[in-house]
Structure 1
Amino acid sequence: MGKPGGFMEYQRETAVTRDPIERLKDWQAFYTSLPEAKLKNQAARCMDCGTPFCHNGCPNHNLPPEWNELIYRGLWREAYYRLSKTNNFPEFTGRVCPALCEGSCTVGLIGSAVTIKDIERAIIEKAFAEGWVAPQPPAQRTGKRVAVVGSGPSGLACADQLNKAGHSVTVFERADRVGGLLMYGIPNMKLEKKYVQRRVELMTAEGVQFVTGTEVGKDYPAAQLLTDFDAVVLCGGATKPRELVVEGSKLAGVHYAVEFLGANTRSLLNSNHRDGQFISATDKDVIIIGGGDTGTDCVGTALRQGCRSVAQLEIMPQLPPTRGANNPWPEYPRIHKVDYGQQEAMAVQGDDPRHYNTMTKRIVGDELGRVKEVHTVQVEWIKNNEGRLVPQEVPGSEKIWPAQLVLIAMGFIGPEDQLLDQLGVARDERSNAKADYGKFATNLPGVFAAGDMRRGQSLVIWAINEGRGAARECDRYLMGETFLP
């Protein structure tokens, strides 16, 4: 794989990130790609490891050693074909995936993992630039009609696969643009929307029909799906946010992160923010409650809007700098990282905006009902009588944070109720659509579920995996057999 001994000859080199202060002036991607010569060297680092664990690290079982070998040999077109065998949308995962495959890279046992994610992104972008990615509608249609509800990564992957099988696919999206969280959940500097639109246009040319501005269960009766289509795949996501149950959480100026991020992107795309139809952080002290990728995206967005200050409160302790004994390779490394939002905050404010072991006690408003303060206390994690770690407040650690904007980024607890209730889809103990992984079939004949709506809040790569799997089982249901992977 690659060049024998390449992992010893070349050091890991990742995509170049733009200067934090400079990139805060716009909403464009905060990174640039490596030149082809350097990408070849990075591909050369892929060692002949015998059993490539990167295959299993990735939910889609992508084949990094194969395409790394091809890139090292200069066979970019062949690398694109190999990449496309397992991933419908490498232009998305090559930008927003945490690279589970790199966590399982054998080179990572003795040094730094191969830059699989950067190479993946470079392959698909070269493929588009060279014209290798072109509409490929199916040679014939089966006469079967399938509805896919939701156009996030699982819905798009499912629709793409079912269309390849020859079915006529209609994707319903309640927002004004296709893409789900790819469009309105991830900010533009992390995933420029031109890449989402490019893929949607390609799928449209291949015969997929997209219906936007239509919420199934509200604008379109859910029961009508069962009469208008031969099969239905539910890919509506886990869009019910986790609430912050404290005094003052309903004050003006307290918003869910997804509301903040979605409105910002919509206004950016519609008018470059000239319409003012977004939640503004300009000249405000911003408190973000919750860590994770969404919290980081809120940090980056608030800074670009010109906030006065930004702090990110996390109830959990800071992760260790290296793998713990309970986190061995080839598991994904649960270690402390500094993401793009934190880098930018450090450049502006001088320190990391994250504050760990910090619990929000209450939110206080002014006489007009607008948020003005967040009251917190430090916690330490101790084991209770059942052996579970629970937070215990540290006496005397109370703190008051000035705030005119509070963003809740505590994740999501499951899908919204309306669609599932109207159809009568059974739920699991976490309120998700009940459907076994690998089968994806709900309790209703011909109705399948995939992505976050089935598994709960997860990653884009898992959503793609589930969309592909649901398409396979839906095809089997319709035709009695399937050739989809």
Structure 2
Amino acid sequence: MGNPKAFLTIHRKEAGYRPVSDRIRDYGEVEQTLNPEDRRLQASRCMECGVPFCHWSCPLGNKQPEWQDRLFKNDIKGAYTLLTATDDFPEFTGRVCPALCEKGCVLNKIHEPVTIRENEAAIVERAFLEGYVRPYVPKHRTGKRVAVIGSGPAGLACANQLNRRGHSVTVFEKNEAIGGLLRFGIPDFKLNKSIIDRRVALMTEEGVEFKPGVEVGKDIAVEDIVRDYDAVCIAIGAEVPRDLKVEGRDLKGVHFALELLQQQNRVNAGREISRDDRISAKGKNVLVIGGGDTGSDCVGTANRQGALSVTQIEIMPKPPEGENPATPWPYWPVVLKTSSSHDEGCNRRWLLDTRRIIGENGKVTEVEVEEVRWEKDEATGRMNLIHTGNVERIKAELVLLAMGFTNPVQDGILKQLGVDKDARGNVKVDDKQQSSIDKVFAAGDASTGASLVVRCIASGRKAAEGIHNYLTEK
């Protein structure tokens, strides 16, 4: 490193967010950027420690110390080359990854890890700005054709890697635009969709063929895909949301989280939604059921729509703040996470179980919840949910279910293909990401269940390697 002792004198400095009063008026990205000199100083804080736990923590195996050094030395081209050697889309992970690497950073022992995620985003943006990102068109084509079904992070990563190996890749996407969960699930205030468009345009120049608005199994027969292509990758995600089977679930005003998020992203893109179909939090008391990132995205979206109040409830206990002895460094710390959306206005509550949804004239008006506690069964070691009998009602005219996802939709492509599934209903794959059907592979959430964008990219890269080896051996 150029300055191996920088971490002793330079403190962690985050770019921070736009002021709340400003950002809740629009859907622009909330995160700000540091100037290049401050960013260099942040990169200099990397200790290049003997055992880089940042590298160990990253599902992609990113070589953080190496590209931090390049950034510090203002070698943006070199930094970008190192970064993209392991991460196909650092412009995505640099914005929406929870930064597992930072939790493993040795400096996280003193709660001042290197700003790895922000540095990553800064590298890729400067690389685009300074003209270092150019189309890579393979000099030789293998003559092999691969179909990728789904254009989320896993499908895009798989397509990118296969195309660069010289195979001809066609990506099928059932929605009207490419991006999958990146485009329709993640709010614009976290990931501006022009970032996706820029990457898709680059991949198109490189030779990848994209077919949006084409649903395999409906618009084109599954058997035709399997017959006409030398290999197929299923990257359709885990689209089945966890439902809440309680009285009043069918009342008007109760929606899955993605119904709201997808619709708002489409509205932002210029799509017209009829008044009857529009989901809006304007002037309403909003209740978000589920304490994860998707729930947080609902909070931010509801605030931007003009919600009267937003409450987010979680059935699990409130995590400890700062330190958690149960999850010590360098493991992922289970501690309280406060997002930019929470800072915009949200009443957060824990240890509440939804018992029933109450309404008038077919519309939701309240949600009855019961306080719970968790007790450990000494015989089995498992935690058991105990209902206390303490019941209350929360006023709500809009209820959003953000309790995660289970598995891919089973009555579509998977059913027609007849692939084996695991106990959770995901596509069962081997260590090469190959399914039980010859030349059919799977990647991302379709094979693992709902996960992180960074894990999906890693899975897509692994599937591409498996497909490439399969085609080469053939």
TM-score (structure 2 length as normaliser): 0.97
Q: How much does 1:479 deviate?
A: 1.1
Give the letter for the 2:175 counterpart.
A
Partner of residue 455, structure 2: 462
1:53-452 counterparts in 2 under 5 A?
53-271=53-271, 278-345=278-345, 352-366=346-360, 368-384=361-377, 386-395=380-389, 397-417=390-410, 418-436=412-430, 438-452=431-445
User: d(CA) in 1 for partners of 2:328 and 2:187?
Assistant: 32
C-alpha spacing 1:264/1:480, structure 2 compared with 1 (3 Å): same
Measured in 2, the distance between the counterparts of 1:189 and 1:110 equals 30
User: Aligned residues, how many?
Assistant: 472
CA distance in 2 between counterparts of 1:273 and 1:226 reads 36
Distance in 2 (CA, whole Å) between partners of 1:179 and 1:96 is: 14
* C-alpha distance in 1 between matches for 2:445 and 2:111: 34
Letter matched to residue 108 of structure 2? G
Aligned residue type for 1:383: K
1:480 is displaced (CA, Å) by: 2.1
Secondary structure, aligned partner of 1:313: strand
Partner of 1:349: none
Please report the RMSD computed on the Cα atoms of aligned residues, expressed in angstroms.
1.5
| CA apart distance, 1:267 | 1.1
Identity %: 47
State the Cα distance separating 1:463 from its structure 2 match: 0.3
The 3-state SS of whatever aligns with 1:338 is coil
SS in 2 for 1:32: coil
User: In the TM superposition, what is the alpha-carbon distance from 1:15 to its structure 2 partner?
Assistant: 1.5
Q: Distance in 2 between matches of 1:168 and 1:174?
A: 20
Q: Secondary structure of the residue that 1:382 maps to in structure 2?
A: strand
Q: 1:241 to 1:271 in 2, by over 3 A?
A: closer
3-state secondary structure, aligned to 2:344:
helix
5+ residue gaps, structure 1: 346-351
Question: Residue 13 and residue 476 in structure 1: after superposition, are their counterparts in 2 closer, same or farther (change >3 A)?
Answer: same
User: 2: distance between equivalents of 1:119 and 1:322?
Assistant: 23
CA–CA distance in 1 between the matches of 2:383 and 2:185?
31
Deviation at 1:160, TM superposition (A): 0.3
User: CA offsets per residue over residues 436-460 of structure 1, 9 Å max, x none?
Assistant: 2x31010111100010000110000
- The residue matched to 1:16 in structure 2 has which SS? coil
Could you tell me how far apart the structure 1 residues matched to 2:458 and 2:48 are?
A: 27
Give the Cα separation in 1 of the matches to 2:307 and 2:272: 18
- Amino acid in structure 2 at the alignment position of 1:14: E
Separation in 1, partners of 2:355, 2:325: 33
1:14 paired residue number = 14
Distance 2:473 2:323 in 1: 47
Distance apart, 1:354 and its partner CA: 1.3
Rounded to whole Å, the distance in 2 between the matches of 1:390 and 1:220 is: 47
Equivalent in the alignment of 1:348: none
CA contact (8 A) 1:267 1:276 kept: no
Shift of 1:244: 0.6
Alpha carbons of structure 1 residues 391 and 282: separation in structure 2 relative to 1, 3 Å: same
CA distance in 2, matches of 1:48, 1:92: 25
One-letter amino acid of the structure 1 residue matched with residue 407 of structure 2: G
Distance 1:230 1:287, change over 3 A: same
- Contact 1:158-1:467 within 8 A present in 2 as well: yes
Q: Distance in 2 between matches of 1:427 and 1:16?
A: 43
Q: Is the 8 A contact 1:2 1:45 kept in 2?
A: no
1:2 Cα deviation after fit: 4.8
TM-score under structure 1 length normalisation: 0.95
User: Alpha carbons of 1:120 and 1:2: their partners in 2 closer, same or farther (altered >3 Å)?
Assistant: farther
CA offsets, 1:206-246, max 9 Å, x none?
11111111111122111211111010000000010011111
Distance across 1 between alignment mates of 2:37 and 2:258: 39
Rounded Cα–Cα distance in structure 1 between residues aligned with 2:275 and 2:254 = 22
Q: CA deviation at 1:275?
A: 8.1
For structure 2, the residue ranges without an aligned partner over 5 or more in a row are: none
Q: Return the alpha-carbon distance in structure 2 between the equivalents of residues 379 and 270 of structure 1.
A: 43
